[in-house]
């Protein structure tokens, strides 16, 4: 037992030395975690704040009021005031998604109670963006009508919020991205550490030694897990500082991330053992990561995607990870299951992952 | 001082190993004496590495019995592994670690007491003291091989098993490794060397086991093997005269075979066959520039054994 502990320690130390001498690998692993934040942020940006030209030919107080309501339409328009000629040119160049024109005499017509046509030119190259513009503009006009008490506006939405605060799309995405970070960083580092043992033949040296070969390999994976955790903590700090997302429950966040590191390190161990080569490891971890990430509630609560996909998501640890992390960061319940159950499921996944990785590794090393 | 153990270091009794639906070792029986250097010789696929894997416990036999250092295989527990050092065909070192760090890691696996002192000892023994701090990735093939041997010696094993000790190393490193193995023999360590190189077996080994297609075809000293193969007459002649030489000696008593060589032909004679009659016949029947009578070398022995039908 004492020798096994010494061997595990030796494995940890050897891995730390090897990683220290491969600073580019470690550096890129940390950068990779951050680039995922950038990735999902850009992804989030593509779905909101469509660049829209605003041509105000009226310049009345009511026109200004309408402009304010259009700007306030939830994350739909990034308004840019300009003249009609420039707006038309920019739209044709592809720099604008739409041009809204407030016609001359708009304010006077509204006061008279006349119907006013508001021309909207849309670049419908992206149907999704076009739909957003089409949906958001009526809601802005409705808000405008209600605020002015216009007679023909009868719509009155009575919204009952489930959560006492709104969470913007990008802050939602960057938290689920932490689960993806954990999967990729922990998975890749652990898989590389294990695959290297087989590729270099050192697994046979371990198998010939009096200590069980799993002891030093476990030590190595502890080191890669620690490095992954540091990478995640750096990324988390960036989420707090850069995105202004201060976790509601920091302890839950830390435990959730640690659970992710354990699970995905074990996934990496299994992949490394089965593949036994370092070259395809990264691509395969990505291949495993992306479907698990997308089917996890990373973009929206998974139950919104239909019952079949939602049911399948229950087999993925990322589903529970996103449930825990969104609760910890924003106090959001993105799964129908309570947060404590998500945490329990995540920890059960960690225990299961350790057992499976241990078994796969044992068979791999002694085969 | 305890009396030396008279039992063999390794005893294999009709051991077979199956893989891929065929016997990679087929009823191999041999005893390896303690303190000897034994060569396991054979062409690629003959079963050398399988034999090494069997002895070191990496592989189980499908039939027969095996005893290593008095313990029956498969050994229970880990005590046997503490008594064996293995140098695998691939050096299997961590490239991003230094030679000393690799040994430090291995020392932890074997629970080597006072590892710092022992590492310095083995590095010194193998002439690596000055390269202890070098990354393995910066070492030459020969140096890496020596680090691998140093690793196998760290725990002072009773039995050292070396698979292809000089594979891919230059001439100087080769001789350095040979001298280390001789030194180990002098210290009483039993050494098993699996090799493709005949000169290596001849230079190092007290006894040689020749494997062919998984079967043991000879187990004798290098000298006995050479004696068994008899003598050889090297004949200098033009290529078109080789056939005449073959025809001239084909019916003579004691002639084993005739091989073409770069300088003409080589006639192999059974051990006690006088060369005079063969030489006279060749000189009479074929245009020959000269001849030389010599003992067969191990390469020729191995060639003859490989061509002969395998026996158990």
Per residue in B228-261, pLDDT (tens digit) is 777 888 889 888 888 888 888 888 888 888 888 8
CA distance to partner chain B, nearest, from residue A271 (Å): 21
CA distance to partner chain A, nearest, from residue B53 (Å): 10
CB contact under 8 A, B101 and A200: no
pLDDT, residue B310, reads: 47
All domains in chain B, ordered by first residue: 10-225 (3.40.50.300), 230-295 (3.30.70.260)
A359 CB neighbour count, 10 Å cutoff: 12
CB contact under 8 A, B110 and A210: yes
Quote the CATH superfamily of domain A50-148.
abc type-2 transporter like domain (3.40.1710.10)
pLDDT, residue B291, reads: 87
Cα–Cα dist A294/A319, whole Å: 9
- Stretch 90-109 of chain B: residues touching chain A, C-beta under 8 Å: 90-97, 101, 104-106, 108-109
pLDDT, residue B5, reads: 64
CB contact under 8 A, B86 and A208: yes
CA distance to partner chain A, nearest, from residue B73 (Å): 14
Contacts of B82 in chain A (CB under 8 A): 210
B204 CB-contact burial (10 Å; exposed 0-12 / middle 13-18 / buried 19+): buried
**Residue A335 φ/ψ, nearest 5 degrees:** -120, 150
Among chain B residues, CA nearest to A13? B105
Contacts of A200 in chain B (CB under 8 A): 90, 92-95
CB contact under 8 A, B105 and A10: yes
Among chain A residues, CA nearest to B87? A205
Residue A22: which of B86, B96, B104 has the nearest Cβ? Answer: B96
| pTM for this model (two decimals) | 0.77
Cα–Cα dist A51/B224, whole Å: 92
Residue, of A157 and B244, whose pLDDT is higher: B244
- Edge-to-edge strands, sheet with B264-269: B255-261, B264-269, B231-237, B288-295
Do residues A51 and A195 lie in contact, with contact meaning Cβ atoms separated by under 8 Å? no
* pLDDT confidence band for A154 (50 / 70 / 90): low
Nearest to B228 by CA among B212, B246, B208: B208
Full DSSP string of A53-106: EEEESS--HHHHHHHHHHHHSTTTEEEEE--HHHHHHHHHHTS-SEEEEE-TTH
Do residues A108 and A165 lie in contact, with contact meaning Cβ atoms separated by under 8 Å? no
Among chain B residues, CA nearest to A19? B96
Residue A211: which of B92, B109, B135 has the nearest Cβ? Answer: B109
CB contact under 8 A, A200 and B78: no
Residue A204: which of B79, B92, B93 has the nearest Cβ? Answer: B92
CB contact under 8 A, B108 and A22: no
Cα B119 from chain centroid (whole Å): 27
Domain assignments of chain A as residue spans, ordered by start: 2-43+165-366, 50-148
**Residue A322 φ/ψ, nearest 5 degrees:** -65, -40
Among chain B residues, CA nearest to A201? B92
- DSSP element (H, E) containing B266: strand B264-269
CA distance to partner chain B, nearest, from residue A35 (Å): 27
**Residue B84 φ/ψ, nearest 5 degrees:** -115, 140
Classify A223 as helix, strand or coil: helix
Average confidence (pLDDT) over A260-285:
91
Q: Is B111 on the interface with A (CB under 8 A)?
A: yes
Do residues B305 and B217 lie in contact, with contact meaning Cβ atoms separated by under 8 Å? yes
CB contact under 8 A, B97 and A18: yes
CB contact under 8 A, B90 and A200: yes
Classify B161 as helix, strand or coil: strand
Query: In this structure, what is the dihedral angle of CA atoms A276, A280, A285, A290, given to the nearest 10 degrees?
Result: -150
Query: In this structure, what is the dihedral angle of CA atoms A139, A142, A143, A145, given to the nearest 10 degrees?
Result: 160
Q: Considering only the C-alpha atoms of chain A, give the largest distance between any 2 of them, rounded to a whole number of Å.
A: 95
CB contact under 8 A, B82 and A205: no
- DSSP element (H, E) containing A313: helix A307-313
Full DSSP string of B195-257: ES-HHHHHHH-SEEEEEETTEEEEEE-HHHHHHHT-EEEEEEE-GGGHHHHHHHHTTSTTEEE
Q: Is B114 on the interface with A (CB under 8 A)?
A: no
| CA distances in angstroms from B111 to A1, A201, B156, listed in the order given | 11, 21, 12
Cα–Cα dist B198/B8, whole Å: 25
Nearest to A176 by CA among A167, A163, A189: A167
Picking from B104, B105, B152 by the largest number of A CB atoms within 10 A of its own CB, the best residue to mutate is: B105
The pair of structure tokens assigned to B90 is 């691939």
Nearest to A157 by CA among A141, A138, A143, A136: A143
pLDDT, residue A229, reads: 93
Report the alpha-carbon angle B181-B184-B189, nearest 5.
120
Task: For residue range A290-322, list pLDDT tens digits in order.
Answer: 888 888 887 777 777 778 888 888 888 999 999
Average confidence (pLDDT) over A33-45:
81
Using the predicted structure, report yes or no on whether residue A153 has a pLDDT greater than 50.
Answer: yes
Residue B105: which of A14, A21, A201 has the nearest Cβ? Answer: A14
A172 CB-contact burial (10 Å; exposed 0-12 / middle 13-18 / buried 19+): buried
Q: Is B81 on the interface with A (CB under 8 A)?
A: yes
Do residues A321 and A264 lie in contact, with contact meaning Cβ atoms separated by under 8 Å? no
pLDDT, residue A152, reads: 65
Average confidence (pLDDT) over A215-227:
94
> Quick one: three-class SS letters along B271-308?
CCCCCHHHHHHHHHHCCEEEEEEEECCHHHHHHHHHHC
Do residues A219 and A213 lie in contact, with contact meaning Cβ atoms separated by under 8 Å? no
CA distance to partner chain B, nearest, from residue A195 (Å): 13
Residue, of A317 and A162, whose pLDDT is higher: A317
CB contact under 8 A, B92 and A22: no
pLDDT, residue B311, reads: 44
- Edge-to-edge strands, sheet with A120-122: A77-81, A50-56, A98-102, A120-122
CB contact under 8 A, A216 and B56: no
Residue A14: which of B91, B92, B97 has the nearest Cβ? Answer: B97
Low-confidence ranges of chain B (pLDDT < 50): 1, 310-312
Contacts of B79 in chain A (CB under 8 A): 210
- DSSP element (H, E) containing B190: strand B190-195
pLDDT, residue B18, reads: 87
Inter-chain contacts counted by CB atoms under 8 A, chains A and B: 74
Q: Is B167 on the interface with A (CB under 8 A)?
A: no
Classify B37 as helix, strand or coil: strand
Contacts of A2 in chain B (CB under 8 A): 111
- Residue spans of beta strands (DSSP E) within chain A: 50-56, 77-81, 98-102, 120-122
Task: For residue range B85-100, list pLDDT tens digits in order.
Answer: 999 888 899 999 999 9
Share of chain A above pLDDT 70, in %: 92
CB contact under 8 A, A205 and B135: no
């Amino acid at each position: 037992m004492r020798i096994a502990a010494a061997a595990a320690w030796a494995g940890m130390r050897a891995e730390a030395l090897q990683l220290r001498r491969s600073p580019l690998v470690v550096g890129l692993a940390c950068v990779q975690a951050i680039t995922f934040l950038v990735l999902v942020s850009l992804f989030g940006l593509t779905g909101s704040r469509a660049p829209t030209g605003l041509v105000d030919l009226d310049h009345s107080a009511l026109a200004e009021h309408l402009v304010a309501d259009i700007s306030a339409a939830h994350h739909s328009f990034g308004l840019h005031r300009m003249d009609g000629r420039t707006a038309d040119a920019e739209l044709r160049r592809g720099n604008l998604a739409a041009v809204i024109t407030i016609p001359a005499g708009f304010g006077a017509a509204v006061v008279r109670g006349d119907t006013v046509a508001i021309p909207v030119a849309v670049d419908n190259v992206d149907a999704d963006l076009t739909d957003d513009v089409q949906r958001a503009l009526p809601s802005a006009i409705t808000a405008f009508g209600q605020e002015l008490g216009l007679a023909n506006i009868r719509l009155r939405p009575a919204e009952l919020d489930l959560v006492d605060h709104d969470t913007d799309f990008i802050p939602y995405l960057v938290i689920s991205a932490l689960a993806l970070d954990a999967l990729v960083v922990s998975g890749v580092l652990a898989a590389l550490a294990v695959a290297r043992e087989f590729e270099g033949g050192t697994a046979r040296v371990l198998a010939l030694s009096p200590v069980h070969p799993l002891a030093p390999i476990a030590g190595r994976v502890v080191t890669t897990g620690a490095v992954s955790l540091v990478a995640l903590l750096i990324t988390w700090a960036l989420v707090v500082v850069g995105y202004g997302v201060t976790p509601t429950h920091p302890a839950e966040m830390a435990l959730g991330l640690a659970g992710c590191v354990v699970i995905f390190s074990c996934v990496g161990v299994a992949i490394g053992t089965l593949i036994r080569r370092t070259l395809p490891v990264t691509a395969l971890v990505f291949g495993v990561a992306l479907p698990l990430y997308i089917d996890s509630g990373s973009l929206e609560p998974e139950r919104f995607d239909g019952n079949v996909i939602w049911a399948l998501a229950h087999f993925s640890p990322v589903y529970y990870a996103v449930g825990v992390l969104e609760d910890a960061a924003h106090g959001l319940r993105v799964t129908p299951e309570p947060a404590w159950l998500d945490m329990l499921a995540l920890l059960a996944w960690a225990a299961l992952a350790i057992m499976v990785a241990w078994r796969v590794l044992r068979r791999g090393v002694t085969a | 001082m305890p009396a030396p153990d008279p039992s063999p270091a390794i005893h294999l009794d009709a051991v077979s190993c199956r893989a891929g639906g065929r016997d990679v070792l087929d009823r191999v029986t041999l005893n390896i004496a303690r303190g000897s250097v034994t060569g396991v010789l054979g062409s690629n696929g003959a079963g050398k590495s399988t034999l090494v894997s069997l002895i070191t416990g990496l592989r189980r036999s499908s039939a027969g019995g095996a005893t290593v250092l008095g313990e029956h295989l498969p050994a229970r527990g880990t005590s046997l592994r503490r008594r064996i050092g293995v140098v695998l065909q691939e050096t299997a070192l961590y490239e991003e670690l230094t030679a000393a760090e690799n040994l430090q890691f291995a020392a932890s696996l074997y629970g080597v007491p006072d590892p710092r002192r022992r590492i310095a000892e083995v590095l010194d023994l193998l002439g690596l003291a000055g390269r202890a701090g070098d990354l393995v990735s910066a070492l030459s093939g020969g140096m890496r091989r020596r680090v691998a041997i140093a690793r196998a010696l760290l725990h002072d094993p009773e039995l050292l098993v070396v698979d292809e000790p000089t594979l891919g190393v230059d001439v100087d490193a080769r001789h350095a490794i040979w001298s280390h193995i001789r030194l180990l023999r002098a210290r009483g360590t039993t050494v098993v060397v699996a090799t493709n190189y005949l000169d290596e077996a001849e230079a190092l080994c007290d006894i040689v086991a020749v494997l062919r297609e998984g079967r043991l075809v000879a187990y004798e000293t290098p000298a006995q093997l050479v004696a068994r193969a008899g003598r050889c007459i090297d004949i200098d002649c033009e290529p078109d005269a080789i056939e005449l030489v073959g025809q001239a000696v084909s019916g003579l008593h004691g002639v084993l075979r005739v091989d073409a060589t770069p300088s003409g032909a080589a006639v192999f004679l059974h051990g006690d066959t006088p060369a005079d009659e063969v030489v006279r016949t060749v000189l009479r029947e074929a245009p020959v520039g000269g001849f030389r009578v010599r003992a067969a070398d191990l390469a020729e022995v191995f060639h003859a054994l490989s061509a002969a039908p395998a026996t158990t």
